[in-house]
Structure 1
Amino acid sequence: MATPQDIEKDAIGLAITQQEPKQEHDGTQNNAELQPTVSRRSAVEYSIFSKSQIRYIVFIASWAGFFSPLSSQIYFPALNTLANDLHVSNSLINLTLTSYMIFQGLSPMFIGDFADKAGRRPAYIVCFVIYIGANIGLALQNNYAALFVLRCMQSAGSSTTIALSSGVVADVATASQRGSYMGFVTAGSLMGPSLGPVIGGLLAQYLGWRAIFWFLVILSASFLVLFLIFFPETARKVVGNGSIPPQKWNMSLINYLHARKAAKEGKEIEEPSDRSPRKIGFPNPLKTLAIVFQKDTSVLLLSNAILFAGFYDVGAAIPSIFHESYHLNDLQIGLCYLPFGIGSTIASIINGKFLDYNYRRLARQHGFPIVKNRHTDLANFPIEKARLQIAFPLLTIGSLAVIAFGWCLQYNVHIAAPTIILFFLGLALTGSFNTVSTLLVDMYPNSAATATASNNFVRCLLGAGATALVVPMIDGMGRGWCFTLVAFVMLGTIPLLLVVIRFGPGWREERRLKQEAAQAEMAAARK
């Protein structure tokens, strides 16, 4: 059974399969001896889950990822009402958005690493217990300080679900399939911007803002019950390709049925040697920071964070501007988010198909083999180009849409114009940063939750700053020039992504060599 150190060779596609038990204590291995392992790995199924089971798993992961943006966006229509009820300014209420995003960036640093070590199910359970408790507190609180602190807890519980969902996709889908499945996972999370404001507007308008949080309690508790019964463990360090049963306490119905079927067929069930909870260790946020400071990933994360900040600038500005310019109530403001969210959801699904198509197109051009349900070594494949080519037209359209949105608001154009623009804005910007998110999972397939946590960390911190600044910027510059500046900053990511396409493969190879050298040193130290 391979140790976690043997498995951590993410970016180069040379991870040692968990079906190699003899390598665990062999301290005499050198780099040359690792190469046959790659061939053996490609000969086994990447995942034993059937296509229908994978779709089901991705659907549940997508549903779990729905709670983070839902919790953020369902709150938007009630911002004005909350400010009045708690007797605070709009700027202070907007700080609860900022704090939410800060914790949205920080908490996955801990839970992402924990999920890669201990499994997806334990990580999900921890997240939802925190989340449900925070929502109960939010429904009962009566002052701004409690609102602020509990929103941080709510974010800590819900935000990691997106990183975990990306990890689930990496567990069950090969690189040639990953674009579509990442699209489906992201579509679930982006239904939040579509449905959240509408639900929040309805609840705030007719039942009061407290009903928003009671609704989240009921929805998340119902999901957790279904999750505990039906969602299988997928983490490759725990169950390999799904053929290794997880610990009994971590078994779902699907895991139990797989184990029973194997027992009936007389198959020998391999028990992983690393079962002790003490070997999991405390989650290490430094692993997330290590990814942040890699050459290629740092450029990718900065680019994605800028796009995400622009996306959130638009969303955070809608309640106050639409209330002031068009005199809308909470429900009407919520309905204005529908085009934004629908465009984002459509983009996730369609963009995933384009990503898979472009991957296959470049694979044919380079004579690169694609074998169904087999691990693919991406060391000699331009995966950066295959993914990022899709982003450029979307990024350009999204930036132009931000400019148009700002000037429509500047001149108080009929509300139909900015709401239509919101659809195209959501469509284009979501497609852009989803492309980058898929590339990160390609580069770190065995630590996808940690890699996605690094993405959350950078983009949420930058997004938090942008959300806090957008209202003062609008007050100081005017709506048109504020969003024009935002759009030009977003367009500045195009040369950054071109740098990744040009130099990314070399940086990836450099990292591979360093990882192999580190493994050789560890092997020598074990002698």
Structure 2
Amino acid sequence: MEKPNSPEPEPASSPNPTPALSVSEDSTQETPHSESRFSVFPKSERLSIIFIAAIAGIVSPFTGSIYFPALNTLSSDLGVSTSLINLTITSYQIFQGLAPSVIGTLSDVRGRRPAYLLAFAIYMVANLALALQDSYAALLVLRCLQSAGSSATIALGSAVVADLVTRAERGSYIGYTSLGISLGPALGPVVGGVLNQYLGWQSIFWFLLIVGGVLLIAIALFLPETARAVVGNGSVQPQKWNLNLVQWLRVKRGQPFNGGVVEEDRSTLSVPRHRPNPLTSLRILLEPEGGITLGFGALLFAGYFMVMTTLSEQLEARFGFSSAIVGLCYLPLGFGSLISRWTAGQLFDWNFRRHARLLGLPLDVSKQQQIDIFPIERIRLEICIPMVYISCGTVLGYAWAMETNASLAGIEVALFFQGLFFSGALQGLNTLIVDTHQDTPASATAANNLFRCVLSAGGTAIAPLMIDTMGIGYMGVFISAVWLCFSPCLWLVLLRGRTWREKQKVRRDKKDQERRELKEKSNPV
């Protein structure tokens, strides 16, 4: 793509009179891009950073599901009912929703590296204690601590992408960092089934301790700080304790921390509107667009998790599989989720480029695109909504394949397509939330996580009851019906989201102006 080289901004009222080119009342520029280079990190370094964030993001959902195949073993060894063991899944989901609101908000102000290091330190302590405990009470409490440590990784991963990648390319990259949401629950039972069958359930937590330790060391040594409130576009040096190994060695030798690639540009620093506050995530739930997007995403994930948490029990009951074989049956779901990161991500980025052409605007992916000019809700939801409707069909196909005792091949095919289209739909909603909250991406993703985990915890609790009373086929009908009934809310965001966002920005800027005037009156020069 060619960069715009004219010193004058391209006017919005060009020969193309498309109304979508209108900008908000307080906009000072009508150019499609910001002036500064969005990120000074070379592409190879951006890819390595996002790779680390993506691997770290798998940890929380992977940890949540890794002991699904061991539920019956835990019930027998600890002398409690299966329903009480299922309670540890529900409690894990609840803390998975609450903890990122604290750590994610902190990272938006203080940095991603400190948040990652704190999260993995808590995670490792919890896994060590879980591997050594032998009582149900300890299992329940420590699973909550384990969840609190690991759950912020998804929010932090999406925030890292928002720090490094412009909206034009964000659809693909957020797909990688949010891969764990759907891939983690699919891979966890595979590993957990093998470990439980051959080494015992304690080996699951020893394995997670090792994984956590490796990631903690990798983050401490190699992950640079990316938070725009701390380093801007990567040109501003963070505090010495917040440098990675390579940067620290450069500074020690008297060299620029970034190798002298570019000069410091403090104008790219993002100043948060609020101090670190867990309630920041809750404010997003109260926004018209944010609340609807988060709410539907939570319903989507709750239905998916109802299928995930009951799959192992259904396979054992219908086919008599061992825990290792049950774990392998989750693989098609994981493969579908993995493939969606390429298919759906490319579609989201293609649709962004398509809208840029329709608006007659140049697209420079090295600079941030102005959200006042690009119809971001339409760009994301035109791809996302069809995937939601296809996901309804895949859930029905899976549920009735189980209900009618169809062959294992039919069940696995349905699971593959469920992973493919559900992951794509969720990816679109996650990207939209980050797009519309560029200044606090970790807080926005934490709000997404909170809503999603609370509803999925409820879904986990009622799914066995629904199967017992109406059968798994009608549970699938219920899940699809809920998604279909609430899908018009996404159409409402597509049509009205931009207007809501612009009105909200006017109100927010008015409040900021009132605060400045009050501060000037109380502190006269």
Task: Compute the TM-score of the two structures, normalised by the length of structure 1.
Answer: 0.89
Counterpart mapping for 1:263-302 below 5 A: 283-302=276-295
Query: Which residue number corresponds to residue 462 of structure 1?
Result: 455
Q: Percent identity?
A: 44
Amino acid aligned to 2:347:
F
Counterpart mapping for 1:253-402 below 5 A: 253-256=245-248, 261-262=255-256, 283-402=276-395
- Cα separation, partners in 2 of 1:522 and 1:427, compared to 1, 3 Å: same
For the residues of structure 1 that align with 2:401 and 2:154, how far apart are their CA atoms? 33
For the residues of structure 1 that align with 2:358 and 2:25, how far apart are their CA atoms? 29
For the residues of structure 1 that align with 2:484 and 2:32, how far apart are their CA atoms? 44
Three-state SS of the structure 2 residue aligned to 1:60 is helix
Deviation at 1:243, TM superposition (A): 0.3
- Cα separation, partners in 2 of 1:116 and 1:258, compared to 1, 3 Å: farther
Three-state SS of the structure 2 residue aligned to 1:453 is helix
Three-state SS of the structure 2 residue aligned to 1:445 is coil
- Cα separation, partners in 2 of 1:326 and 1:164, compared to 1, 3 Å: same
Q: What is the Cα-based RMSD across aligned positions, in Å?
A: 2.4
Query: Which residue number corresponds to residue 510 of structure 2?
Result: 517
Counterpart mapping for 1:38-437 below 5 A: 42-188=34-180, 190-256=182-248, 261-262=255-256, 283-437=276-430
Q: Write out per-residue CA displacement over residues 153-194 of structure 1, whole angstroms, 9 at most, x where no aligned residue.
A: 111111110000000000000000111111121235543233
- Cα separation, partners in 2 of 1:174 and 1:411, compared to 1, 3 Å: same
For the residues of structure 1 that align with 2:247 and 2:432, how far apart are their CA atoms? 30
Bigger mean CA deviation after superposition, 376-385 or 263-272? 263-272
Q: Write out per-residue CA displacement over residues 237-286 of structure 1, whole angstroms, 9 at most, x where no aligned residue.
A: 000000001100000135447766538869875789x9xxxx99984111
Deviation at 1:220, TM superposition (A): 0.9
For the residues of structure 1 that align with 2:26 and 2:474, how far apart are their CA atoms? 60
5+ residue gaps, structure 1 = 1-30
Amino acid aligned to 1:79:
L
For the residues of structure 1 that align with 2:262 and 2:167, how far apart are their CA atoms? 29
- Cα separation, partners in 2 of 1:230 and 1:298, compared to 1, 3 Å: same
- Cα separation, partners in 2 of 1:282 and 1:47, compared to 1, 3 Å: closer
Q: Does the 8 Å contact 2:182/2:419 carry over to 1?
A: no
For the residues of structure 1 that align with 2:115 and 2:80, how far apart are their CA atoms? 36
For the residues of structure 1 that align with 2:389 and 2:273, how far apart are their CA atoms? 44
Q: Does the 8 Å contact 2:62/2:180 carry over to 1?
A: no
Query: Which residue number corresponds to residue 20 of structure 2?
Result: none
- Cα separation, partners in 2 of 1:135 and 1:281, compared to 1, 3 Å: farther
Q: Does the 8 Å contact 1:74/1:212 carry over to 2?
A: yes
- Cα separation, partners in 2 of 1:358 and 1:191, compared to 1, 3 Å: same
- Cα separation, partners in 2 of 1:56 and 1:292, compared to 1, 3 Å: same
Counterpart mapping for 1:453-492 below 5 A: 453-492=446-485
Q: Does the 8 Å contact 2:38/2:367 carry over to 1?
A: yes
**Among 479, 491, 494, which residue is 1:498 paired with?**
491
Q: Write out per-residue CA displacement over residues 25-82 of structure 1, whole angstroms, 9 at most, x where no aligned residue.
A: xxxxxx999837x979822210000111111110010011010111012111111211
- Cα separation, partners in 2 of 1:514 and 1:137, compared to 1, 3 Å: same
For the residues of structure 2 that align with 1:470 and 1:362, how far apart are their CA atoms? 41
Amino acid aligned to 1:67:
V
For the residues of structure 2 that align with 1:405 and 1:70, how far apart are their CA atoms? 22
- Cα separation, partners in 2 of 1:333 and 1:510, compared to 1, 3 Å: same
Amino acid aligned to 1:491:
L
Q: How many matched pairs?
A: 492
Query: Which residue number corresponds to residue 507 of structure 1?
Result: 500
Deviation at 1:419, TM superposition (A): 1.5
Deviation at 1:327, TM superposition (A): 0.6
Three-state SS of the structure 2 residue aligned to 1:526 is helix
Three-state SS of the structure 2 residue aligned to 1:492 is helix
- Cα separation, partners in 2 of 1:63 and 1:373, compared to 1, 3 Å: same
Deviation at 1:137, TM superposition (A): 1.2
Amino acid aligned to 1:394:
M
